[in-house]
Amino acid sequence: GSGWILGVHIADVSHYVTEDSPLDKEALKRSFTQYLPWQAVHMLPEKLSSDLCSLKVGQDRLAFSCMVELSGSGIVKDFEFTKSYIQVDEFHTYEEAMALAEEKPRSDLSRLRRVTRLLNERRKKAGLLLLDMPETRVGFDNFGEPVGLEHKSHIESMNWIEECMLLANQCCAQFLKSNAIPGVFREHGYPKEDEVRELATADAELFQGTGALDQYFKDGNAPDSNVHKGLFELFKKLVENASGDLSKTRK
């Protein structure tokens, strides 16, 4: 079709956690759920986080939704935030979701894959450093002692929710900015010129194929933004040089 309607739905806990209540104050102190290798330390009581505010199959749940209208190429045309009721039809593991998207090209999961690929491509064009860092899982014995590490395999379906959440976050940031509402924004500043030059001196092989650094830092004038085409190309090349088998990269 000519476009997409994407709904990103987040469980709405505000019905249960009212402002300045004991639950609200405790959640503020905890700030977030901590995911440890052997357990999760929840920000909210398990009755809420794992039941009443968990989007379970076949159960009506209160949610806060970001409804996004996208063009056929993945550009945001419009968005709306709204309170909603959600009832999940199906639950799938990442592996199951990937298999179903492959088997049924006209399914919702297949369409979700197409949309998130478009969103990811747009992020790459805007300036996305892909850090190919393998994830590991810690194995524990019956006494809770670590006994080994195993690599976690990464499949494409693991990115689908991430892309949708990032899009909802961007819409939220745009809403705050457009309505002059204060918000907390995370900023990734660019590495300073002297730090880059120091790294080049310490590890010259990492900079193979990048050319003279002067072309990236002309006249000592650093860019005023981390979204800087020249520097982005430099950092992308450094990531490529550092990834994979380092013994092959560095002769």
Q: Where are the alpha helices (DSSP H) in the chain?
A: 22-30, 46-47, 94-103, 108-127, 158-178, 193-202, 229-242, 246-249
Cα angle 103-109-110, degrees, rounded to a multiple of 5 = 60
Residue 225 near residue 191, CB atoms below 8 Å:
no
State pTM to two decimals: 0.77
Structure confidence by residue, pLDDT tens digits, 171-228: 999 999 999 999 888 877 777 788 888 998 898 888 988 888 887 776 555 555 555 6
Measured at the CA of 63, the angle between CA 57 and CA 68, to 5 degrees, comes to 105
User: Under DSSP, is residue 214 helix (H, G, I), strand (E, B) or coil?
Assistant: helix
Token pair 């982005």 in the structure block, residue: 232
Task: Tell me what percent of the chain is helix, strand and coil, each rounded to the nearest 5.
Answer: 40, 20, 35
Q: Name which of 50-59, 86-95, 216-225 the model is least confident about.
A: 216-225
Work out the pLDDT band at 246, boundaries 50, 70, 90.
Answer: very low
